[in-house]
A and B are shown apart, each in its own frame.
Chain A
C-alpha cells in the first residue's frame, strides 16, 4: 500500500476509535447529571401519582439494560425523547438543516473573504489596506457574537435613524410561505442575511488574522527571493509560491470550525430566533432529557471527528511532508 493510503487509513481509524470512545463516554456522562425528568415534566400538571410512577419506571431501567439497548444502535429510530415523546433523531433531523444552512453559509463566506483579506493585508503589509483591515478584524475578533448580533438586529431589522429596518427580526421563513418555491427560497435568503453576517464577521476576523500572520512569516523566505529573481511577476510569486505554503494554518482553522458547524451557533441562533439545534440542546438539558442529549452530543462529536479526518487528508494533499 502506498504511504498516502496508509496515512488515510490511519486517520480514519483513529477517527473511528474516538467516535467509539465518545459513544460510551456520553452514555455515562449524562447519567451523572442531577434531575428527575418525569418529576420536572409532570410538575404543575394534574398527573395522577400512579401515572408518574409508571412513567418513571419506564425510564429507570437497569443501567446495564439501558447501556446494551443504547450501544447496540445509538442511531436507532425507536429511541424516544422523554420530553417530546418523539424519536430523538427525528427531532434532530427537523432542526439540523437550519443550523447547517446558517453555519455552513457563514463559514464558506468567511473562509473566502477572510483568507482574501489576510493575503492582501500581508502582501501590502503596513500600507493603508493592511492598517485598516487589521484594525477592523481585531475589533471583530474581540467582539462577542451575541452582542454583534444584537447590534445588527437593532440597526438593520428594527432600523436606526435613516437606516430602514428592512430585514426580519427573527426566524427562518415567514409564516404561510411555501419553502419549496422561488418565493420561499428568496424569503429564506432574506431571513439569513443578518444571522449569517453576524457569524461570518466573527469567523472572518480569525481567518484573516491567521492568514496574514502566516503569510508574513513566509514573505522573508529565500525561495520567494529566488522566485522573483527568476523574473516571476509579483502576483505569480504570491499565488504560486507564498500562499500555498502559508495557507496550512488557515485550513486547519477552517476545518476546526467546520467541526463545530452543528454546535457552534447557539448564541447567534438565540439572538435571531433561528430554529436550529441551539434551542433543542437547551431544552434537552432541562430534565435532563438524556436520550436527546446523548443523540445531540453524538452528532456534535461526529461533526468534529469528520472535519478532523477531512483536514488530515487535505493536509496530506497540500503538504507532501505529512505523507512521508
Chain B
C-alpha cells in the first residue's frame, strides 16, 4: 500500500483512507473544503500559497503530525525521481515546499495554478518515510509486518493485507475528524461478479461495488439490501481518427481521409441512437452522452445548445454535402467510387464495448456506410491508436473533478511521440488538434479564479463537441448495493440536491462515507456471515474480535475488467 506505486483505483481508495491531504473535495458538490489544512491563502501576486495546518494532530503511533510532514511529502515529490510518477502532475508548478512553523505550510509556485486546492498528494509521516530512499521506494510494500499497523493519519489504519484476498483496516482513534463509528473495515477481492452479489445477500460482505447490471437487478428489492445506481463520472465514446500525427505534426498511420472532414464526423454523431444504447447495453443504467465533462460535475459540464440527436436524415445530408453520395445499391461511395468503408475497433475485455460496436455498425450501415468491426485487446488498441492505424474505436474515460487532465487529452501535444523508431501513444486517441483549444487549455491552466476558469472549460467542451473527434455514447452509472439492515449513514458524492441524482456511496473523492456510517441498530451484532463450521464465519469472527460492532466488508467487483483510464484514481486490482 505504497502511495508511490499504485496503479489501480482501488489502491488510491486505500491511500486516502490511510493518509490525509491538505484539502478535500466536498461531499455535496466537489468544491474545495478544509482537510488537514484548516484554511489557505493565495498571495496577491499569485506566487505562494500558505496553508494553515491543524494543530494537535497525531500520527497513529503518537508522533505529532505537523506542517513539517506536509513540507517533507511535497518536497519528496518535487525533488524526487520515481516519486514523480504518481504525483508529479500535481506539483509541476510547485518549486518549493517549506514549513516555517508547525502549523504553516508555504508552497511556492512558478505561475498561477488553479489545482492548488485539489492537490491529491498524500501527507506521509516523515519519521517513517525518510528512512526509505528514492531507490527503495520503488519496491517498498508499506504493508504491516508482525502485526504492527502502518502509521497513518486517516480515519482508518491498515492492519493486514493478504495479496489477492483482502485488506483490513481498524478505526483510528486519533483521527482529527473523530474516531469513525465502525471499528473495522475489510476490503475483499472477488474475481467473480455473481459471487459479489451472492456474498452480499448472504451477509459475507456488507457493500458491493461495481456490480453488473443483471446481478444488480437480481438483488433489487431483497430484504435488508439497498441498491443504488449512482450517477458516475465515466463516459464511453466512439472515437474517430481525426488525422493521426505525432505531436510535432508529422502525419502517421492509415486513417480514412473522409474522417478528417468535420461534416463526416458530425454525421457519424447523428447516426448513433444513444437512447437505445443506454437502454440495451447499459440495461437503462446511464444517460445519453454529450460532452467530455460528465453532467454530475454540474459546475463544469456543458450541456450543448444544439445536441447531436439520433437523426439519420441529417446524417445522410451531411454525408452528401461532404461528397459521399449514395450509390445505386444503397451503399455510399468513396471519392474513388468504391464503397465508403471504415474499420471500427471494439475491446475484447469489455462486454459493453462488444455490444456497442455491433449496434453502431448497424446504424452506420443504415446510413449506407460499410463497417468492418474488429475486436482487439486493449493493449492492441493502444498500439493501433498510437500508430494511427484505425478509423474508429470504442473506449471510455473516467473524469476526475479537476478537469485539467481530461482536457489535456485533446491537446496537440498529447498526440503520439516517436523514440528510437518506436511510436508511442500519447493520451489523445483521436489525435485531435486545434489551435484555439490549445490556447484555451493553456489559459485555464493558469486561471485561479474558479468562475472564470469554469467559463473557459465550457468553451473548450463546445469546441470538442462541434469538431466531433468523439461521439460520446453514454455516461454510465456505477451500480452499488449495501446491507441497509446492518449499516446506515452513507453519503452520496455528489448529493442528489446538487446533481439531480446522487453519486457513489463509496469509492469517492474523499472518505465521507467511511467517516459517517453507523451500524444499524442492535441486531447488527450478529455478524450475519458465518454459519460454517470450524469458526469460519467470515464476518462472524471479526465481530467476536471487536466486541459487538459489526465489521464493514466491501466487496470489490470484478477487478480485472477495468484497468485503463480512470481519473485521478487510476484503476482496478490493488497490488
> Which residues of A come within 8 Å of B, CB atoms?
33-36, 39-51, 53-56, 60, 80, 83-87, 94-95, 150, 153-154, 157-159, 164-177, 183, 186-187, 189-191, 269-273, 275, 278-280, 282-283, 286-288
Contact = CB atoms under 8 A, between A and B. Distances in A.
Contacts of A175: 160, 162, 165-166, 168, 186, 188, 538, 542, 553
B396 to A, nearest CB: 10
Point out which of A170, A175, A278 has the most chain B C-beta atoms below 10 A from its C-beta.
Answer: A175
Given A47-B88, A48-B84, A51-B88, A157 B163 contact: no
Given A175-B553, A270-B191, A283-B560, A187 B378 contact: no
A142 to B, nearest CB: 22
A189 B468 CA distance: 57
- Most chain B beta-carbon neighbours within 10 Å: one of A40, A153, A288: A40
A44 B566 contact: yes
B163 A46 contact: no
Interface string B82-107: 00111111101000000000000000
A287 B7 CA distance: 12
Contact of A44 (B532, B533, B541, B571): B571
A179 to B, nearest CB: 9
A42 B202 contact: no
B141 A86 contact: yes
8 contacts: A34-B379, A43-B564, A95-B163, A158-B202, A173-B165, A176-B186, A190-B532, A273-B190
Contacts of A45: 7, 85-86, 89, 568, 570
B379 A171 contact: no
Nearest to A51: B84
Interface in B354-386: 377-380, 382-383, 386
Contacts of A34: 377, 379-380, 383
A17 to B, nearest CB: 33
B427 interface: yes
B575 A83 contact: yes
B419 A84 contact: no
B164 A279 contact: yes
Interface string B129-171: 0000000001101000000000000000000101111101000
B138 A85 contact: yes
B195 interface: yes
B425 interface: yes
Contacts, number: 209
Contacts of A273: 165, 188-192, 195
A46 B568 contact: yes
| From B424, B426, B567, residue with most partner A Cβ within 10 Å | B424
Interface centre among B5, B186, B536 (most CB of A within 10 A): B536
A39 B192 contact: no
B139 A169 contact: no
A53 B202 CA distance: 48
Interface string B523-565: 0000000111111111001100100000001000000100111
Contacts of A51: 84-85, 88
B113 to A, nearest CB: 13
Nearest to A146: B192
Contacts of A187: 534-536
B535 A186 contact: yes
Nearest to B247: A49
Given A56-B424, A175-B188, A170 B199 contact: yes
Interface in B55-91: 81, 84-90
B535 A177 contact: yes
Contacts of A191: 536
A84 B575 contact: yes
Interface in B391-439: 397-398, 404-405, 417, 419-420, 422, 424-427
